[in-house]
Amino acid sequence: MNKKTLRDIDVNGKRVLVRVDFNVPLDIDTGTISDDTRIREVLPTIKYLTDKEAKVILCSHLGRPGGKVVDGLRLAPVARRLSEILSSPVEMAVDCIGPQVEEAVDRLKGGGILLLENLRFHPEEETNDSGFAEELARLADIFINDAFGTAHRTHASTVGVTKYLPAVAGLLMEKEINIMDKALNDPERPLAVLIGGAKINSKIGILENIIDKVDSLLIAGGMSSTFLRALQYNVGQSSVKDEKEDKVGLAKLLIEKAAEKGVPLLLPSDVVVADRFASDARSRTVSVDNVPTSWYIMDIGPRTIELFETELRKSKTIIWNGPVGVFEFPKFSKGTEAMANVLAGLDATTVIGGGSTAEAVVEMGLTDKMSHISTGGGASLKFLEGKTLPGVVVLQDKEAG
């Protein structure tokens, strides 16, 4: 990564505003955090700063409050969990800007930690309002972006503040970018990419970018119906979901391009179908050439699992983004679980692209079996598309001196 990190600047005793991604799964009624991975991943940055006696001012969003205060989306439960993990106090601010927050920062001692209230309680955060960004920046001497999960957003706390403060990357941001970049652009080969998920619109850019980089490409999930349709298969009701129809022609071009380059492009050979898009729907496994017209494709079948496993076992680097079925319904989670178990058992570099894929791996308790699980779903998608991330572009370049 050619951007400066917190190691490249003097943070000793400074007021440091750190954008983190504490958008953790939270039970609004009880305040219980079911997965604190995103909190723990930022610990190296926090500990580095506290060891330097910096005044650490953390800011994050939580959920989608829509620019207004939602009591169930306050960050107090996150502050409590972080305090428990660190075994040291974490103060909670009453807001993220304003005189009371400035006073709380003034009271903060070297090595102390203050967590600001949910940034998205203010609509100006998501509109990248310059006044809001300036108020945030007023709290600190230095800005550190350690929120890879929001690096694809042009928000006040990711981009706006960099107009007013020296801005560098945190240790998690550096780790995410370096791992993703190596896996995609300098991998140990063969490189296989497994793409799933329901929305082809969010993945088509990835496929266009990686077709020249991969040694094999495996496509499943709801989006595979577009490719099956391009090959003249009937895919039942799946064909009209998420406006896939207008992407059939592009899917055909990608199939042809893969063939020209000699890149194996694997699609499901059998699927689990259901008479309704529901957890308790009637279901059965059929060949892809025998999908009932009124049914939905919900998962990959056993022959496809075997086909994919055989291909993945040949690979030394694997990037996986998107479940291969409707894994949130237990009845249709078998394919996703099988892929996770296959990757967990391989002697290969396995990079999991955040979002729902990461959620599935975490739920199965396989986190430690993967080389890297990204903390950013949307950001990892943009990275795999080869696009620049707004929250990274604005950070200081190492060459800038």
Catalytic positions are 38, 199, 355, 378
107 by DSSP, 3-state: which?
helix
113 by DSSP, 3-state: which?
strand
Give dist(CA 13, CA 397) in Å, integer.
Answer: 23
149 by DSSP, 3-state: which?
helix
Give dist(CA 346, CA 191) in Å, integer.
Answer: 13
Beta bridge partners of 296: 274
Give dist(CA 363, CA 348) in Å, integer.
Answer: 21
Give dist(CA 398, CA 345) in Å, integer.
Answer: 38
What's the first-to-final CA gap in the chain, in angstroms? 15
Give yes or no for a contact between 118 and 62, defined as CB atoms under 8 angstroms apart.
yes
Q: How many CA atoms lie within 13 A of 319 on its CB side?
A: 31
Give dist(CA 206, CA 187) in Å, integer.
Answer: 17
Give dist(CA 328, CA 356) in Å, integer.
Answer: 9
Closest CA relative to residue 224, chosen from 314, 323, 303, 357: 323
- Cα-Cα-Cα-Cα torsion 101, 32, 336, 329, nearest 10 degrees, comes to -120
Amino acid at 347: D
What does the buried/exposed string (b/e) look like for 201-230 if buried means 16 or more CB atoms within 10 Å of the residue's CB? Answer: ebbbebbeebbebbbbbbbbbbbbbbbbbb
Cis peptide preceding 190, ω within 30 of 0: yes
